[in-house]
Structure 1
Amino acid sequence: MKNILLAVVGLTPQVITETLFALHQEDRRVDAIHVITTREGKEGINASLLSLWDGYYYRYLKEYGIDPGVIAFGPDHVHTVTDDNGIELDDIAGEEENEWLLKKCLEMAFRFTKEPDTAVFFSIAGGRKTMSACLMIAVQFYGRPQDRVYHCLVSPEFESNRDFYYPPRDSATIELRDKEGQPYFKETRYAKINLVPLPFVSIRNQLSDAMLREPKDPACLLLSLIREEIPLLLIDLPQRKVVYKKREADMTPSRLALYAFFAMRKRDCSKDSAT
């Protein structure tokens, strides 16, 4: 089983290393990392995490003795949200941007849940709240029993700190800010990272095979779940009435008999054509 971490990230790339650290602390193997973000988010990830010289992602692997070859993660695993013309978005600020974001989340969730021998760890800890919401919607459409949704909680004073990306093996002193914005110093050994699993209800099993051949928009997926019952025609001879779609019509005996005759002919014709 291949474990894939799929995360939404805004302007705080440390969410990735914090989540990876938390997963490893729970002995959960990660074989690949994929990220959904904006253009600015991509630049931050490439600069602070994936720099071969001093990227915090490689620092983490080296410090904890993890072979970089066991986790597939690089610039080509960072997926930016684009508009209809393929232009990368700088931010997710309006309704239209959120539609493009949701489309990207659905595409990525569909892609990584398509193969049965994968398990996807969806991380909703990063980015704007709408980014987390969009990824959660994608999970509800395509999530499977082996998939998981996680939120990563970091000690408030260390959260989003520019110098904190994971708890180092050897505690270090870093500069923090209090509520008034005044600087103070604290050792990283006091930092706590908690991985919180979140339950989700998936409708994947209710989707038809046609809906699972390629990513679909939410409206199309929801409409596919609406299955109207075929209305039945009831001819009540003793009561001399016809009932259809909760509507009743009284008839004279002669007309009712003629109506019943044609209704039975129609029924028999349908059976003959089916065979």
Structure 2
Amino acid sequence: MYGMEPKNCKRRILLAVSGMSPQILTETLYALACVQRPAFIPTEIHLLTTASGARSARHKLLHGGNFVRLCKEYGLDPELFKEQNIHLLCDAQGQPLEDIRTARENEIAADQIVDWVRRFTSDPCAALHLSLAGGRKTMGYFAGYALSLFGRAQDRLSHVLVSSGYESHPEFFFPTRESHLIEVGNGRVLDARDARVELADIPFVRLRTEIPQPLLEGGAGFSETIRHIQRIDEPPRLELDLTCRQLRASGLAVELPPMLFAFYAWIVQRHLRDDSRPCAADLREPNGLFADELMTLVRSVEGEMGRDRELTERSLKNGMDKAYFEEKKSRVNKILESQLGKALARNYQITRFGKRPNTSYGLALEKENIDWRD
């Protein structure tokens, strides 16, 4: 379902970050539902805010407030946004933050904003529309960066634009159908009916495919996720410890089942030799030498009584054939992509070199970037 038009998604989420200006939520909803074409009518609305921001939102939006007025005036469902949809940013002890002023509070807010965006984008049936209009500048930055990390084709990022005089006015929440006068000082009065509200769509780079599955599933904060993306631009380094059966790529532990660990070790071992990559021509018939080399590594990894050793021995009793090689290569590469992310995994996956009939297989890594330990 990835790549669906946002308006066609079964679950349509509007998420806003806000401080003491809850009107960004009604302004954004108005723009999405009443101005934008095609309209994006949310099925649920969520607000991320501080303790003081939550009090302001409850008072000004709910319980007969301006959100309810907007829904009544334009035929929207007031159940889209309820008190339980106001999510508080909390400190390490679970206490709501009154504001975000210190470096530590910024770090905490970043992790929680990232986690909410990750959650909402984990549903393939959902389209997320994220508004950057409210809250402190760092909140908007973290929210936008989070969508860049986790956003998909159907997700959108926007900033609401309000005509001069109405912007940030504490009594303006949306353009009304009927005349609604608001005072702007010095005896001047504006009519909410005349206000113009629109959305500026903000393009963003989608990095989701570069993030490994464990980070997509949660448990990582903002800084850890960014650190992973930064590894892509660093020199690759592969560490393989045969005795401890440990594999690290760019400093990240990679978990491979014993058989696949031995197969990958065999590829690395041959890669480290001169001119000894396995070739497609060597697999036209079952290859006894390849089978013997792999079995030696399987015994080192599994010992003489390992279950994988027995299965591998039976599979290779007549030698290693092309089907066996391709199946193991494909599984290893998929696990590397899942655990490292697509871009980082390319440095470590088993790659094809040359053209048929002279195709060979190995790693793109330079030998000096591989640390092999027996």
Q: Shared topology, TM-score over 0.5?
A: yes
Give a deviation string over 1:210-256, Cα, whole Å, max 9, x none: 2212141233223434261559xxxxxxxxxxxxxxxxxxxxxxxxx
Distance 1:158 1:116, change over 3 A: same
- Residue matched to 2:17: 8
Instruction: State the TM-score, normalizing by the size of structure 1.
Output: 0.79
Inter-partner Cα distance in structure 2 for 1:198 and 1:75: 28
Matches within 5 A, 1:30-179: 30-51=42-63, 54-69=64-79, 71=80, 73-177=81-185
- Residue matched to 1:202: 206
Inter-partner Cα distance in structure 1 for 2:158 and 2:226: 25
- What SS does the corresponding residue of 1:89 show, helix, strand or coil? coil
- What SS does the corresponding residue of 2:176 show, helix, strand or coil? coil
Instruction: Give me the identity figure in percent.
Output: 34
Residue identity in the other structure for 2:141: A
Inter-partner Cα distance in structure 1 for 2:163 and 2:120: 31
Greater relative contact order structure (CA < 8 Å, 6+ sep): 1
- What SS does the corresponding residue of 1:144 show, helix, strand or coil? coil
For structure 1, which segment, 36-45 or 187-196, has the greater mean C-alpha deviation from structure 2 after superposition? 187-196
Distance 1:149 1:271, change over 3 A: same
RMSD: 2.3
Q: Is the 8 A contact 1:22 1:193 kept in 2?
A: yes
Q: Is the 8 A contact 1:15 1:125 kept in 2?
A: yes
- Specify which of 213, 219, 223 is matched with residue 219 of structure 1: 223
**Deviation (angstroms), 1:153:** 0.8
Q: How many residues align?
A: 236
Distance 1:82 1:67, change over 3 A: closer
- What SS does the corresponding residue of 1:106 show, helix, strand or coil? helix
- Residue matched to 1:185: 189
Q: Is the 8 A contact 2:26 2:174 kept in 1?
A: yes
Q: Is the 8 A contact 2:115 2:221 kept in 1?
A: no
More helix by share: 2
- Specify which of 16, 24, 27 is matched with residue 18 of structure 1: 27
Q: Is the 8 A contact 2:67 2:78 kept in 1?
A: no
- Residue matched to 1:237: none
- What SS does the corresponding residue of 2:47 show, helix, strand or coil? strand
For structure 1, which segment, 100-109 or 218-227, has the greater mean C-alpha deviation from structure 2 after superposition? 218-227
**Deviation (angstroms), 1:87:** 1.0
Inter-partner Cα distance in structure 1 for 2:180 and 2:114: 40
Residue identity in the other structure for 1:45: A
- What SS does the corresponding residue of 1:196 show, helix, strand or coil? strand
**Deviation (angstroms), 1:93:** 1.1
Matches within 5 A, 1:248-263: none
Q: Is the 8 A contact 1:11 1:41 kept in 2?
A: yes
- What SS does the corresponding residue of 2:146 show, helix, strand or coil? helix
Inter-partner Cα distance in structure 2 for 1:112 and 1:134: 15
**Deviation (angstroms), 1:156:** 2.7
Inter-partner Cα distance in structure 2 for 1:188 and 1:62: 16
Q: Is the 8 A contact 1:106 1:215 kept in 2?
A: no
Distance 1:185 1:111, change over 3 A: same
**Deviation (angstroms), 1:172:** 2.0
**Deviation (angstroms), 1:60:** 0.8
- What SS does the corresponding residue of 1:5 show, helix, strand or coil? strand
Q: Is the 8 A contact 1:113 1:143 kept in 2?
A: yes
- Residue matched to 2:325: none
Distance 1:90 1:223, change over 3 A: closer
Q: Is the 8 A contact 2:182 2:191 kept in 1?
A: yes
- Residue matched to 1:256: none
Give a deviation string over 1:69-123, Cα, whole Å, max 9, x none: 4x2x111111111110011111111211111110111110011011100000000
